[in-house]
Amino acid sequence: MQAITPIVVATDFSASAGRAVRRAALIAQQLGAEMHLLHVVSPLDLYPGPDPAADFRLNHEQALQAAGKSRIDILAAKLRKDFAIPVVAATRIGRAHTEIAGYAAAKAAGLVVAGARGENTLLDLLMGSTASRLLRLAACPVLIVKNAKAKPYQSAIAAVDFSPGSSHVLELARAVASAARIEVLHVYDTDHDDRMRQAGMDEAYLLGRQAHILKDAENRLDIELAGLNEENITRHVMAAYPAAAICERARILRAGLIVLGRHGKSGVQELLLGSVSKDVASAADCDVLLCY
């Protein structure tokens, strides 16, 4: 797994972004990582007149200053002081999700952190949030911050499906939530059984097949966890609809973090976010960290 540095966190100075910034700073402090604080300005915010391109070059620096460059420098200085971490402040112009992903790629970021919802909530609902679009573009793990307070994680879930997309889930959970109790969770998707029932498959056969698959998953997790020899890591296997089960399990355990792969067994690797990942990122009440 790539080292988790630098950490890029995006801010639009909203309350949601503020929570993301504090979480990113806490993780950077914990891991000894460098943090990049990025503010993306929309061109329309800089030039509200009828001809945005008329004097773009002439007013570029002044526009950035007015749009938040001074503000982000002040925030970066405060973070350096409060968390004793190296912080780089940067401002870009363009579409937020594109600029964040591009900046993270240029800096070979180990983690991107973003708030679940920005200041333009209505626009986000209509067109898709910056966070959800960023998940499709970023070439590194993305942490969507939902928790109201940034404090060390006490409980976390590492959801695995044994696909390549979940191969680094536990490792990433251990790095970001090192002091937490971590449950490695595997959910057998019962939707497969439902489709076979509709096709007329024998119920006894389906139940036997499900029991065999669950037992095999338990054995695989036991083997993987045996080498870690850590008491704070446990495993749980169940049959259900994965996204709903993962979110419900997080509520039962009062988990502050869910870690899972962005693409599961169904593939569609680069073009679309996997349905389970998308549903968990949307429905979970806690922070969600998606592996690349």
Per-residue pLDDT tens over the stretch 176-207: 999 999 999 999 998 888 888 888 888 888 89
Q: At what angle do helices 130-137 and 275-283 cross, to 10 degrees?
A: 150
pTM of the entire predicted model: 0.85
Average pLDDT, the chain: 84
Domain residues for 70? 1-148
Sheet with 111-115, side-by-side order of all strands: 87-93, 35-41, 7-10, 111-115, 142-145, 287-291, 257-261, 155-159, 181-189, 233-240
Identify the pLDDT of residue 121.
42
Identify the pLDDT of residue 262.
82
Three-state DSSP state, 75: helix
9 shares a domain with 130: yes
Residue 60 has pLDDT above 80, yes or no: no
Q: Which two tokens stand for residue 152?
A: 């060390």
156 shares a domain with 122: no
133 shares a domain with 100: yes
CA–CA gap between residue 110 and residue 36 (Å, rounded): 11
Which of residues 148, 164, 196 is at a domain's end? 148
191 shares a domain with 143: no
160 shares a domain with 102: no
Identify the pLDDT of residue 272.
45
Q: How many structural domains compose the chain? A: 2
CA–CA gap between residue 46 and residue 52 (Å, rounded): 8
Which of residues 148, 173, 202 is at a domain's end? 148
Confidence of residue 125 (pLDDT cuts 50, 70, 90): very low
176 shares a domain with 143: no
95 shares a domain with 226: no
Which of residues 148, 171, 201 is at a domain's end? 148
Give me the CATH number covering residue 219.
3.40.50.620
130 shares a domain with 15: yes
Residue 102 has pLDDT above 50, yes or no: yes
Q: In what helix (H) or strand (E) does residue 22 lie, and over which residues does it extend? A: helix 15-31
Per-residue pLDDT tens over the stretch 209-265: 899 999 999 999 998 888 787 789 999 999 999 999 999 999 999 999 999 998 654
